[in-house]
Amino acid sequence: MIDRRTLFAGAAFSSTFAWLFGGSRAVASASTKPAAEAKTGKPPLDYDELLPNADVAGQMDFHAGFLAWSLNDFEKQSTKRLHAILAEKGIDPNTNVDLIPLLDDIRSDPLMALRMRTWLSNQELMLGGLEESLGRASEQYFAEMEAAEAKYPNRIELNPDMHMPEYAKHEIHLQKGGYVGNPLAGYVNYHYGNILYEALFGSNIQDERIALMAAAVPLPDDGKVERALDMGCGTGRLAYGLKNRFPEAKVSGIDIAGPMVRFSHKRAVDLGIDCFFAQRSAEATGFPDNHFDVIASNILHHEVDAAATDEIIKEAFRILRPGGIFYPIDHPTGKQAPKKTVSTKFWAFNDRAINNEVWRADFESRDFGDLIRKAGFVVDESLPPAVWGTGSIKAMKPA
């Protein structure tokens, strides 16, 4: 039987960067090339983490296609229906009125109920299928992670007895066990992320979207990047992007979830990327004062509670060196946020109600840039977003 989980393809990086910069245009700057390419002019063999067999891969292709239809064509039709429901009540859908009194009427409408039910069923079946198929191959996955840890034990730090804050125990996106409760959570989240990105943006199998994020990270004024940190690294992709962009830098990724750290390290070993991954809290990282030149994160803050966000910002200020850059990529808030209407509030409400995005609304109700400014950073919100759909905050620790 052919093992389809891994695939090596020498042309993969060239196709990735062609996508990034528009079709066939070549990459001109070594600063955004993979480490091996920056040094040798040749891209390394790339590595795809595929699913256990063709049956599961076919199922996930279906779920990706269904999700794309649900988030595009079906959402357009259901939004029209939502506007009609509001118009029947004499409410302009473009105004910011209280949503709560309207929920029963909206959710009892057949088309609106179908939109929510089909999305939820697809999510449950997709994650259930991933968890079941990956679980059947668990011995092999555990062996892979253990082999990577035996090969490079100095590149990973696990703290299985560390205290888990309450926010880490929620099953974000309906992923069973969340990020901390399933020992294969890294594998599940990696494949789920590929499906979601395919539905929303086209692809992220070669980390295309994350490469854009890494390329957007602003430099300190002196241009020096010797140490970089990915806070809340998840499956490690932003850390990989930072290492590819800054091949001479020591790049670290931290996450409170041990399963995510183990997967990040394993895939880094597979890719030949030298990063250090540690199971640590972003609120108390254990790094020295003034240690990093660049600290970045990707969609960390809307998945922790407000108190944790405040502490993470303070910790970033402490461990960033004077003149260093803090670049947290997340949902837009404050003056960068899209106009709130009863329609946008309804879809955000559903993200919490049926996707278990527990703190999204709380995060988006605060001015993230202002919070960072009050922690002592010099904040610039004028830059374009790293990728479509995110906010843009460049925060410098005063020199």
User: 226 — alpha (psi -120 to 50), left (phi > 0) or beta?
Assistant: alpha
Give the residue with greater pLDDT, 32 vs 311: 311
CA 61 to chain centre: 20
Reported as a single tens digit per residue, the pLDDT across 112-130 is: 999 999 999 999 999 999 9
Matching residue, tokens 């009125």 = 97
Please state the rounded mean pLDDT for residues 203-216: 89
**Domains in the chain: ranges and CATH:** 9-50+154-396 (3.40.50.150)
Reported as a single tens digit per residue, the pLDDT across 228-275 is: 999 999 999 999 999 999 999 999 999 999 999 999 999 999 999 999
CB of 174 closer than 8 Å to CB of 123: yes
Reported as a single tens digit per residue, the pLDDT across 335-379 is: 999 888 888 888 888 888 888 899 898 999 999 999 999 999 999
pTM of the model: 0.86
Reported as a single tens digit per residue, the pLDDT across 44-88 is: 335 567 788 889 999 999 999 999 999 899 999 999 999 999 999
Please state the rounded mean pLDDT for residues 193-206: 80
CB of 109 closer than 8 Å to CB of 85: yes
Distance CA 317, CA 324 (A): 9
Matching residue, tokens 């990735």 = 16
- Which of the residue ranges 3-7, 83-87, 235-239, 321-325 would you say has the lowest mean pLDDT? 3-7
Distance CA 93, CA 9 (A): 49
Distance CA 330, CA 204 (A): 17
Please state the rounded mean pLDDT for residues 309-334: 97
Q: How confident is the model at residue 8 (pLDDT cuts 50, 70, 90)?
A: very low
User: Which is it for the CA torsion 280, 281, 284, 287, positive or negative?
Assistant: positive
- pLDDT at position 47, please? 55
pLDDT surpasses 50 at 189: yes
Provide φ and ψ at 29, rounded to 5°: -105, 130
